[in-house]
Amino acid sequence: MTIAPQNDLLDHKFDMCFGHADQNKDGVVDAADILTFAARVIAAVGEPFDSPKSVEMLRVCENWWKGMVAELDTDKDGKIDPEEYRVGMRRLVGSASSFEAASRPVATAIWSLCDRDDDGEVTAAEFSAVQLAFGTTPENARLGFKKLDLDGDGSLSVDELTSAFRDFYTSTDIDTNGNWLFGADFQTV
């Protein structure tokens, strides 16, 4: 286990995720960014935008945004800047129940989108589309899937994906498997 200075590693991961959320790269996250994020994931997996899975992803992301802006937007301008995001995420990840309540619906919606053939399993090929949408290289997507597949059965469960979210956002162990949620990009700390 390699423990990094907590604020350095977590802040780096928070900054990376802020960059994913800031879809138009204007330096703040707003409702349009979150809906664009949802559309990006939907398009990456090839799901029709009017399907029940897509509608659910959009609904979950809208609720996610409402929760984020309520908790993180301290100046109440309807936008979250990088500092608000860092401070708010530190507070959010400090509460296991709050973090679970915020992350599980998103993980579940992403998992459902990834399960293209509706067989109840998300394979490496199905999950790699989401990782590639975030700029993960194909090799890192392959390695990342292996790291996230905690039981080694060749598919991701909602629990494994939720665990990856939790580990990514909360762990100061640079070697934790959840750090592969978006490939190995953050490991340049």
Question: How much is the mean pLDDT over the chain?
Answer: 89
Cβ within 8 Å of residue 22, ≥6 positions away: 28, 29, 33
pLDDT digits (tens, 9 = 90+) for 74-101: 999 999 999 999 999 988 888 778 888 8
Please, which residues bridge with residue 158 across strands? none
DSSP conformational letter for 110: H
3-state secondary structure of 124: helix
Task: With cut-offs at 50, 70 and 90, classify the pLDDT of residue 6.
Answer: low
Name the E strands within the chain.
181-184
Helix axes 158-170, 82-93, angle to 10 degrees: 120
Q: Does domain 6-183 have CATH number 2.40.128.260?
A: no
Could you state, in order of their start, the residue ranges of all structural domains in the chain?
A: 6-183
**CA 43 to centroid of chain Cα atoms:** 16
pTM: 0.86
Task: With cut-offs at 50, 70 and 90, classify the pLDDT of residue 187.
Answer: very low
pLDDT digits (tens, 9 = 90+) for 108-149: 999 999 999 999 889 999 999 888 888 788 888 889 999 999
Length of the chain: 189
pLDDT digits (tens, 9 = 90+) for 9-21: 889 899 999 998 9
Longest Cα pair distance anywhere in the chain, in angstroms? 46
